[in-house]
Amino acid sequence: MALTEKKLAPYQQALLVFAAGFLLMSAGVLLDKAGIFGMERLYPWTIATGFLLLFALFNSISSLQADSFVKYWGASIYSFMGLALVNGLAAWWLSGVSIGDAESYKFIYLVVAFGFLVFLSMVNFMKKIVQFAEREEWTQPRRRR
């Protein structure tokens, strides 16, 4: 069974994405402390924003399987906000750099948040178009003049 076939609630997706992101951030910090990997100062912020974008894409695609888009939309928004918060706190804790001092990451966070809303809206719009097309009768094509 593929991961996309299984219905995961948005909060479960957010927990899964956070766990993977935190593991990668922590591994980078540990490898830096051991002297194996020279971690950049903003590496945790890069991972946090990257995994936030990953959640946005995966969650938008998963919304196609939702029974009620309105409920899914609400749960997705809250899950995204929670993920953005805990990813930001983890990146701050592991790097020692706040989002205000993390160069352009404040702007990137806003762009990803706006992109998430756009992705979710586009998927919903495409779903509505497909539902409309499925309801139409296609037995006789219309004649062009």
User: Model confidence over 73-83: pLDDT tens digits?
Assistant: 899 999 999 99
Q: Is residue 141 part of a domain?
A: no
Q: Is residue 51 part of a domain?
A: yes
**Per-residue pLDDT at 108 exceeds 60:** yes
Q: Is residue 143 part of a domain?
A: no
Q: Is residue 97 part of a domain?
A: yes
Note down the domain range covering 98.
10-126
Q: Tens of pLDDT along 24-68?
A: 999 999 998 888 888 888 999 999 999 999 999 999 988 888 888
Q: Is residue 1 part of a domain?
A: no
Q: Is residue 135 part of a domain?
A: no
Number of domains into which the chain is organized: 1
Q: Is residue 98 part of a domain?
A: yes
pTM over 0.85? The answer is: no
Give dist(CA 100, CA 108) in Å, integer. 12
Q: Is residue 3 part of a domain?
A: no
Instruction: Provide the pLDDT confidence category of residue 144 given band limits of 50, 70 and 90.
Output: low
Burial of 132 from C-beta contacts in 10 A (0-12 / 13-18 / 19+): exposed
